[in-house]
């Protein structure tokens, strides 16, 4: 058994726990919208056609924000197709996912769904096939009370008060050659800067996200951020980051260390933003919106869209079924996001339902939790107050992709109001348990209120509609506190949470 120690002290703070860290993503892709969040006629559907079982699971998941409507989809989207009387809305081809878009769910439906689920909307504009004017039209529709064409059109459509959406994404992954309207960094920087400037003329209180790289492996990574931020820095608040991870060729050890890459990604983007800030002699700091992240097996058959003359509505796409190891990695990536809370001010798990998602549905059938649901829900529910900077002493193991990595990946939060300290920990070792020893002398008098671990001797075990509970986290009876030290045993390939309260 490995032995690892952690020292937790209230004096060493990274930054606040940000509720926007626990965002997700709804795109018109596969069955995320149609038969996902929206299925009129389903036995749980409300008057708007929203699946009640999915609404309940969204609340249980602890989602704070939802990015909409894409994703690659947004780069060809005509938002006005999806407003007004449903029977007059046109059916369009979605080039991004080779699908047909019926437009029976659009901006107003999404905003009603966001209100019903209790989430903050994060709206994206199309800077692929469209530009400044169309972005302004959508902003007017959403945020202007009345007295102008699109604002009055919203009122005609039955929505008297403006939505007042705060967060807006200026396009999506414009660095990617797969993107409709793909641009060079210089081309995108100009249109993004001018769109941001114009949008602020209409609503100066917006929070704007400019496109960063769609992955740290992109050949333009770093230079893209520098070029784009040099042009847009004064007009935006965030730069986006996107990253997906998967187990390659049976290399479980490297997969379990995926958060090493996420940490490096955040550090590189932050450094580039700070270099532009210094060169421009500006006071404002640009922060990271990690608004696409997840485990995604991109090379599986279910990730390939239809082809030829087949343009189906809501085809089965990207419906990865997650196992225990995938859930452990999701938990580890959440640890990374919290650990970087000084620079990551928002994040979005991609996506929410059916499409590489923690929630799955069957058309006309049940909704259920994937393995990845649990670390997200428990972290969202229990991380509060401030993120602490830890002193960690951990053994290392060799990985093919990242070299030597600590077997213990961990972060802690402290809520000064309640006195609670919560430790989130991942054992990256494939074969060895960890004996964890936590020095709590900075927080005397704590006791274990809850300790759970997600693990399984068979790390390939998956949840299903018939059995979504056997892979849920279980109580960890080994977690105990004595003499201001917490101790627990963490099995191999596991995610754990230990919640400590005043005795």
Domain range annotation of the chain:
2-9+386-502, 18-382
Task: Give start and end residues of each alpha helix (H) in 144-257.
Answer: 149-156, 185-202, 223-232, 252-256
Say whether pLDDT at 426 is over 90: yes
The verdict on whether 292 is a catalytic residue reads: yes
| Mean pLDDT within 357-381 | 98
Say whether pLDDT at 303 is over 90: no
Q: Considering only CA atoms, which of 495, 465, 463 is closest in space to residue 371? A: 463
Give every CB contact of residue 478 below 8 A, 6+ residues apart in sequence.
451, 487, 488, 489
Supply φ then ψ for residue 16, to 5 degrees: -75, 155
> How far is the C-alpha of 441 from the C-alpha of 457, rounded, in Å?
34
Q: What is the CATH number of domain 18-382?
A: 3.20.20.80
- % pLDDT > 90, the chain: 95
pLDDT attached to residue 305: 83
Catalytic residue among 39, 140, 247, 292: 292
Q: Which fold has domain 2-9+386-502?
A: Immunoglobulin-like (2.60.40)
The verdict on whether 60 is a catalytic residue reads: no
Q: How confident is the model at residue 468 (pLDDT cuts 50, 70, 90)?
A: confident
Say whether pLDDT at 302 is over 90: no
| Mean pLDDT within 34-46 | 98
Answer whether 2-9+386-502 and 18-382 agree in fold. no
What's 353's DSSP letter?
B
Say whether pLDDT at 461 is over 80: yes
Supply φ then ψ for residue 305, to 5 degrees: -70, 165
E strands present in 91-229: 92-94, 99-101, 120-125, 167-170, 207-210
Q: Is the dihedral of CA 242, 247, 253, 254 positive or negative?
A: negative
pLDDT attached to residue 304: 80
Q: How confident is the model at residue 84 (pLDDT cuts 50, 70, 90)?
A: very high
Q: How confident is the model at residue 379 (pLDDT cuts 50, 70, 90)?
A: very high
Strand partners for 66:
24, 121
Q: Is this structure's pTM higher than 0.75?
A: yes
Q: How confident is the model at residue 165 (pLDDT cuts 50, 70, 90)?
A: very high
pLDDT attached to residue 277: 98
Catalytic residue among 173, 247, 386, 397: 173
User: Rounded mean pLDDT of the chain?
Assistant: 97
Q: How confident is the model at residue 210 (pLDDT cuts 50, 70, 90)?
A: very high
pLDDT attached to residue 500: 98
Q: How confident is the model at residue 124 (pLDDT cuts 50, 70, 90)?
A: very high
| Angle (deg, nearest 10), helices 324-339 and 373-382 | 30
| Mean pLDDT within 183-190 | 98
A 10 A CB-CB count for 451 gives 21
> How far is the C-alpha of 69 from the C-alpha of 467, rounded, in Å?
31
| Contact call for residues 99 and 306 (beta carbons, < 8 A) | yes
Say whether pLDDT at 301 is over 80: no
| Mean pLDDT within 109-116 | 98
Does residue 185 sit in helix, strand or coil? helix
Q: How confident is the model at residue 106 (pLDDT cuts 50, 70, 90)?
A: very high
């Amino acid at each position: 058994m490995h032995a690892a120690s952690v020292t937790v002290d209230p004096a060493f703070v990274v930054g606040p726990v940000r509720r926007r860290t626990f965002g997700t993503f709804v795109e018109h892709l596969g069955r995320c919208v149609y038969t996902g969040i929206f299925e009129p006629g389903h036995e749980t559907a409300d008057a708007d056609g929203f699946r009640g079982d999915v609404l309940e699971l969204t609340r249980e998941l602890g989602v704070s924000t939802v990015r909409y409507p894409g994703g690659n989809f947004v780069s060809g989207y005509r938002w006005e197709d999806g407003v007004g009387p449903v029977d007059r809305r046109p059916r369009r081809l979605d080039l991004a996912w080779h699908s047909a878009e019926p437009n029976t769910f659009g901006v107003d439906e999404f905003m009603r769904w966001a209100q019903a689920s209790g989430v903050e909307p994060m709206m994206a504009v199309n800077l692929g096939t469209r530009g400044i004017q169309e972005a302004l039209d959508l902003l007017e529709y959403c945020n202007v009370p009345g007295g102008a064409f699109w604002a009055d059109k919203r009122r005609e459509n039955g929505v008297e008060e403006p939505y007042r959406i705060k967060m807006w994404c200026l396009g999506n992954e414009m660095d990617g050659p797969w993107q409709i309207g793909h641009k060079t960094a210089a081309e995108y920087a100009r249109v993004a800067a001018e769109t941001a400037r114009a949008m602020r003329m209409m609503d100066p209180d917006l929070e704007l996200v400019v496109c960063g790289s769609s992955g740290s492996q992109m050949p333009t990574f770093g230079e893209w951020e520098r070029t784009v931020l040099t042009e847009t820095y004064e007009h935006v608040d965030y730069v986006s980051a996107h990253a997906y991870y998967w187990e390659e060729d049976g290399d479980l050890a490297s997969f379990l260390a995926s958060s090493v890459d996420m940490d490096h990604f955040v550090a590189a983007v932050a450094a580039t933003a700070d270099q532009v800030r210094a060169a421009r002699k500006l006071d404002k700091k640009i922060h990271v919106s990690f608004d696409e992240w997840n485990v995604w097996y991109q090379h599986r058959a279910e990730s390939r869209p239809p082809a030829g003359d087949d343009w189906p509505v809501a085809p089965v796409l990207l419906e990865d079924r997650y196992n225990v190891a995938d859930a452990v990695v999701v938990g580890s990536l959440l640890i990374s996001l919290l650990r970087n809370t000084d620079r990551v001010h928002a994040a979005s798990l991609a996506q929410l339902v059916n499409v590489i998602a923690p929630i799955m549905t069957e058309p006309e059938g049940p909704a259920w939790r994937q393995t990845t649901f649990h670390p997200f829900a428990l972290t969202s529910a229990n991380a509060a107050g401030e993120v602490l900077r830890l002193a960690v002493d951990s053994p290392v193991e060799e990985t093919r992709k990242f070299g030597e990595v600590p077997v213990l990946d961990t972060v802690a939060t402290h809520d000064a109001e309640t006195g609670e300290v919560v430790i989130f920990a991942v054992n990256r070792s494939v074969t060895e348990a960890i004996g964890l020893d936590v020095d709590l002398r900075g927080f005397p008098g704590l006791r274990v209120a809850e300790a759970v671990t997600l693990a399984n001797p068979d790390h390939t075990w998956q949840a299903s509609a018939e059995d979504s509970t056997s892979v849920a986290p279980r109580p960890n009876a080994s977690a105990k506190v004595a003499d201001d030290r917490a101790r627990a045993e963490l099995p191999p390939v596991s995610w754990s949470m230990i919640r400590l309260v005043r005795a």
